[in-house]
Amino acid sequence: MSELKGKTAIVTGASRGIGGALGMALAKEGMDLVLAARGRAVLEETAAGLSRKYNVRVVPVACDVTRQGDLENLAATAIKEFNKIDALINSAGVSSQYPFQEQPLEDIARLMYTNYFGAVMLTRLMINHFIENKSGAVINITSGSTLVDPPPRNFIVYSSLKRALNAFSKGLFWELRDQGIKVTSIMPGVTDTALTGGLAEISVDRSRLMQTGVIEDAVKFALSVPANVCPLEISVINQRTPWTSPVIPYRQDHPKE
């Protein structure tokens, strides 16, 4: 029997892509879920489908992670519906690719509020629940682009915010390490989802992209290990991923001008 069976998790960005795949993988393990994303119709359909297929309880909550009020509602609903939440998985995220001097001003705010604020604020809203229970796991889906130094050209706002989220996650683990709470950053290489579909650099050869299965395995591993062996960071990369393949040996590929 899966050790995850009967446990509960909140998954943001759960309507498609990595979060969608994680929702399915965890439901398959017998976990009850709270799924969050902005698009209510897809979310409700996803939740009903998982619930039917895997005989678990799945609660959809429409939530824009850039809005504090929505995050407060998500946290309160999750605790009210399940009484105890065992894991928070922050996967909601957006991407964009611009030379910095051309990056639209509103794009910077969108990245900051979705990819950093959303994860940190929701963690803040859940953390006292985990402290009270003396257990809980926070998993932040950051990015393999954080392994590239200097940050990949045309991705510096995205990538530096993901680095910030890595730093936050590690700091949170150390701050709460005596409270039984695990905190893990998962750093996927470029993965075949809608998010990468529009990125010029990688749309050339989609066979180089990773599939979500390995990220599902990393998340299940992080959720399963005891708190005293908490993996702080898990890189989920392959040698063909466009950003990380050049890391060993080091070389960055950039979009053609």
Ligand X SMILES: NC(=O)c1ccc[n+]([C@@H]2O[C@H](COP(=O)([O-])OP(=O)(O)OC[C@H]3O[C@@H](n4cnc5c(N)ncnc54)[C@H](OP(=O)(O)O)[C@@H]3O)[C@@H](O)[C@H]2O)c1
Catalytically active residues, by annotation? 158
Sheet strand arrangement including 8-12: 58-62, 32-37, 8-12, 87-90, 136-141, 181-188, 233-236
- Report if residue 165 touches ligand X, rule: CB under 6 A: no
Could you give the angle at the alpha carbon of 90 between the alpha carbons of 139 and 123, nearest 5°?
Answer: 80
- Report if residue 169 touches ligand X, rule: CB under 6 A: no
The Cα–Cα gap between 251 and 148 comes to 9
Binding segment for ligand X (CB under 6 A), chosen from 7-15, 96-104, 126-134, 174-182, is: 7-15
Site string for ligand X, 92-131 (x = CB under 6 A): xxxx------------------xx----------------
**Structure tokens belonging to residue 98:** 């611009």
- Report if residue 196 touches ligand X, rule: CB under 6 A: yes
Binding segment for ligand X (CB under 6 A), chosen from 16-24, 74-82, 175-183, 226-234, is: 16-24
- Smallest CA-to-CA distance from 240 within 200, 211, 199 is with 211
Q: How many alpha carbons lie under 13 Å from residue 54 in its C-beta half-sphere? A: 22
The count of residues in the chain is: 257
Q: Which residue in 193, 216, 220, 223 binds ligand X (CB under 6 A)?
A: 193
- Report if residue 154 touches ligand X, rule: CB under 6 A: no
The one-letter code for the residue type at 172 is: L
Q: Which residue in 65, 89, 222, 234 binds ligand X (CB under 6 A)?
A: 65
Q: Which residue in 19, 23, 136, 151 binds ligand X (CB under 6 A)?
A: 19
- Report if residue 157 touches ligand X, rule: CB under 6 A: no
CB 37 within 8 A of CB 43: yes
Binding residues for ligand X restricted to 214-253, rule: CB under 6 A: none
Kind of pairing between the strands at 87-90 and 8-12: parallel
Binding residues for ligand X restricted to 170-189, rule: CB under 6 A: 188
- Report if residue 161 touches ligand X, rule: CB under 6 A: no
Residues that bind ligand X (CB under 6 A): 12-19, 37-39, 63-66, 91-95, 114-115, 141, 143-144, 188, 190-191, 193-196
